Amino acid sequence: MTWDWGAVADFMPHFRDGLLVTLQALVLGSLISFVLGLVWALLMRAPSRWVRWPVGAATEFVRNTPLLVQLFFLFYVLPEWDITFSALTTGVVAIGLHYSTYTMQVYRAGIEAVPVGQWEAATALNLPLRRTWTAVILPQAIRRVVPALGNYVISMLKDTPLLMAITVLDMLGEARLFSQQNFQFTEPLTVIGVAFVLISYPASLLMRALERRLVR
Amino acid sequence: MSADTTPAKDPGATGTGNPPVDGSELIRFDHVTKRFGTNTVLDRLDFSVDSGKHVTLIGPSGSGKTTILRLLMTLTKPDEGTIRVGGQYLTHEERNGRLVPAGEKHVREVRRNIGMVFQQFNLFPNMKVLRNVTEAPVTVLGLSKDEAEARARELLDMVGLGDRCDAYPTQLSGGQQQRVAIARALAMRPQVLLLDEVTSALDPELVAGVLDVLRDIARSTDITMLCVTHEMNFARDISDQVLMFDSGRVIESGPPERIFSDPEHERTREFLGAVR
């Protein structure tokens, strides 16, 4: 087996397309999971169990079924009810939703880790509940959970190839297509392997830097 | 402020009934009981504090002193009895002539008059010192940012930290943090300041600075202070009245000179002997 730089060069335009899709899925999926996870975590602290119960059951269900199954469900079943999105949108929503059931646990831990004295000080200053959350509790909780959220971003990155199952051509999708058309497997697969490392390693460095800045 | 430092009735006596709230009475506990599980921390407690007075609660740990402050700050609820602040019920409100558990709005309104300084400071670590002091005046009292900052700087100057406005709490010593916490509580202009063992978490060499600030406030303002402390010299210095607690009841009360030099009660004598 010989390494063919020509194949690498031929793959590059396809690689760029795939990279763009992977990054889109990663960034949008992360944003959705960060926001939704926080929403779930807050709803789970609602005074009424008629809120906590359904949210708890639904997120438990999503967390305990495979992402691949959820992708298929959203992609093939929703259209039967006349709900259709593009494949990439469906994928991004599925990844974001799936991971939000993990990030909610992270937020929960972060919120619980804020000392009770902070709540008491807010009460003593007569701060309204909403302000207590936005100015006192969440800034401290989120600061604590950035490293854990970062781990899920890396995890999400490594799950983006699953999008191939619903016809989205991410990096792996492009590599596979190229390989099958040109009978050259080594070069494209190596290129995307390196690309995954080149994305995730700086991402984890960034998270560590952020952590050092935020955790006080 | 009247010269008479003892309350109208002996707060330790049972069956004191329900005297009307007179103008100078700011805080009143009637038959307040607080239990934690099977442990009765306060047992049908009656006591009152007049406006402008500095009252120190002393007694062995577990005797319910801190619970009184926490009840007043609405950090915990009484199991029985009523608490009034400035004539208004704290945990109840009157509706159609009947006492019902207070709604959030009512509690917030009565609570406006009360400020608290905690043993563990509880400053907001995500905010700089200045913002710790301006946050509540801006969001609760509706002061403008400039106005709140001007007042905050004044208060921080008063506690000797005018030059640390831009520091974060963790960059300060414990004693400095506690002085910021005092400024933060005062910024809300409460009628009552609750001090919950404010020097207990401090290194010995930092205690004096905090107590000096509190002495200043006691002398220069007409704020009512309710103080739980193990610093007997400080208690003697600033209080008009000392209440000795034991097993959830006030067993003795009076001016500090008398309580410290000539306690009537055997338990008080024992306690003072142990802490000296």
How confident is the prediction along chain B (276 residues), in pLDDT tens digits per residue?
A: 444 443 443 333 333 333 334 448 899 999 999 998 888 889 888 888 999 899 999 988 878 889 999 999 999 999 999 999 988 888 888 888 788 888 888 889 999 999 999 999 999 999 999 999 999 999 999 999 999 999 999 999 999 999 999 999 999 999 999 999 999 999 999 999 999 999 888 888 889 889 999 999 998 888 999 999 888 888 888 899 999 988 888 889 999 989 988 888 888 988 888 876
Which residue among B74, B122, B170 places its CB closest to the CB of A117?
B122
Which residue among B108, B114, B126 places its CB closest to the CB of A139?
B126
- Across the interface, do B139 and A127 touch by the CB < 8 Å criterion? yes
How many CB atoms within 10 Å of residue B85?
A: 20
- Across the interface, do B126 and A120 touch by the CB < 8 Å criterion? no
Q: Residues A85-127: pLDDT tens digits?
A: 889 999 999 999 999 999 999 999 999 999 999 999 999 999 9
Q: Residues A157-205: pLDDT tens digits?
A: 999 999 988 888 888 888 888 888 888 888 888 888 998 999 888 888 8
Q: Give A9: exposed, middle or buried? Use CB within 10 Å, 0-12, 13-18, 19+.
A: exposed
Which residue among B120, B122, B140 places its CB closest to the CB of A126?
B140
Contacts of A118 in chain B (CB under 8 A): 122, 124
Task: Tell me the nearest-neighbour CA distance from A124 into chain B, angstroms.
Answer: 6
Q: State the pLDDT at residue B1.
A: 41
ipTM of this complex prediction, to 2 decimal places: 0.86
Contacts of B108 in chain A (CB under 8 A): 126, 128
Q: State the pLDDT at residue B15.
A: 34
pLDDT tier at A152, thresholds 50, 70, 90: very high
Q: How many domains does chain A have?
A: 1
Domain contains A1: no
- Across the interface, do A127 and B135 touch by the CB < 8 Å criterion? yes
Burial pattern B56-82, b for ≥16 Cβ within 10 A else e, equals bbbbeeebbbbbbbbbbbbbbebeebb
Q: State the pLDDT at residue A215.
A: 62
Q: State the pLDDT at residue A1.
A: 66
Query: What are the phi and psi torsion angles at A127 (to 5°)?
Result: -65, 140
Task: Tell me the nearest-neighbour CA distance from A201 into chain B, angstroms.
Answer: 29
Q: Residues B9-47: pLDDT tens digits?
A: 333 333 333 333 444 889 999 999 999 888 888 988 888
How many CB atoms within 10 Å of residue A155?
A: 12
- Across the interface, do B126 and A140 touch by the CB < 8 Å criterion? yes
- Across the interface, do B124 and A120 touch by the CB < 8 Å criterion? no
Contacts of A116 in chain B (CB under 8 A): none
Distance (Å, rounded) from C-alpha B49 to C-alpha B38? 29
Which residue among B108, B116, B124 places its CB closest to the CB of A136?
B124
Q: Residues A41-91: pLDDT tens digits?
A: 999 999 899 999 999 999 999 999 999 999 999 999 888 888 888 899 999
Q: State the pLDDT at residue B74.
A: 92
Contacts of A141 in chain B (CB under 8 A): none
How many CB atoms within 10 Å of residue B157?
A: 13
For residue B247, give every residue at least 6 positions away whose Cβ sits within 8 Å of its Cβ, in sequence order, or none: B43, B63, B64
Q: State the pLDDT at residue B22.
A: 43
Domain contains A180: yes
Distance (Å, rounded) from C-alpha B262 to C-alpha A22? 81
Q: State the pLDDT at residue B4.
A: 41
Predicted model pTM: 0.84
Domain contains A53: yes
Q: State the pLDDT at residue A5.
A: 87
Indicate the Cα dihedral angle B116, B122, B123, B127, nearest 10°: -130
Distance (Å, rounded) from C-alpha B9 to C-alpha B253? 11
| Chain B residue at shortest CA distance from A138 | B126
Contacts of A140 in chain B (CB under 8 A): 124-126
Indicate the Cα dihedral angle B116, B117, B121, B127, nearest 10°: 60
Q: State the pLDDT at residue B10.
A: 39
Q: Give B153: exposed, middle or buried? Use CB within 10 Å, 0-12, 13-18, 19+.
A: middle
Chain A residue set in contact with B, beta carbons under 8 Å: 115, 117-118, 120-121, 123-128, 131, 135-136, 139-140, 143, 216
Domain contains A2: no
| Chain A residue at shortest CA distance from B140 | A127
How many CB atoms within 10 Å of residue B222?
A: 10
Contacts of A115 in chain B (CB under 8 A): 120, 122
For residue B165, give every residue at least 6 positions away whose Cβ sits within 8 Å of its Cβ, in sequence order, or none: B128, B129, B130, B152, B153, B156
- Across the interface, do A127 and B188 touch by the CB < 8 Å criterion? no
CB pairs under 8 A between A and B: 62
Handedness of CA B105, B108, B113, B114 (dihedral sign): positive
Task: Tell me the nearest-neighbour CA distance from B121 into chain A, angstroms.
Answer: 8
Are A185 and A177 a contacting pair, CB within 8 Å?
no
Which CATH number fits the domain that encloses residue A196? 1.10.3720.10
The residue segments making up the domain with residue A202 are: 7-214
Q: Above pLDDT 90, what percent of chain B?
A: 52
Q: In what order do the strands lie in the sheet with B54-58?
A: B114-117, B192-196, B224-228, B54-58, B241-246, B249-254
- Across the interface, do A124 and B125 touch by the CB < 8 Å criterion? no
Are B117 and B178 a contacting pair, CB within 8 Å?
yes
Are A157 and A199 a contacting pair, CB within 8 Å?
yes
State the Cα angle at B175 between B173 and B176, rounded to 5°: 65
- Across the interface, do B135 and A123 touch by the CB < 8 Å criterion? no
The residue length of chain A stands at: 216
| Chain A residue at shortest CA distance from B76 | A120
Tokens linked to B187: 């910024």
Which residue among B111, B120, B168 places its CB closest to the CB of A117?
B120
Q: Above pLDDT 90, what percent of chain A?
A: 55
- Across the interface, do B118 and A117 touch by the CB < 8 Å criterion? yes
- Across the interface, do B140 and A128 touch by the CB < 8 Å criterion? yes
Interface probe with A: pick from B71, B122, B138, B188, most Cβ of A within 10 Å: B122
State the residue for tokens 């410290």. B260
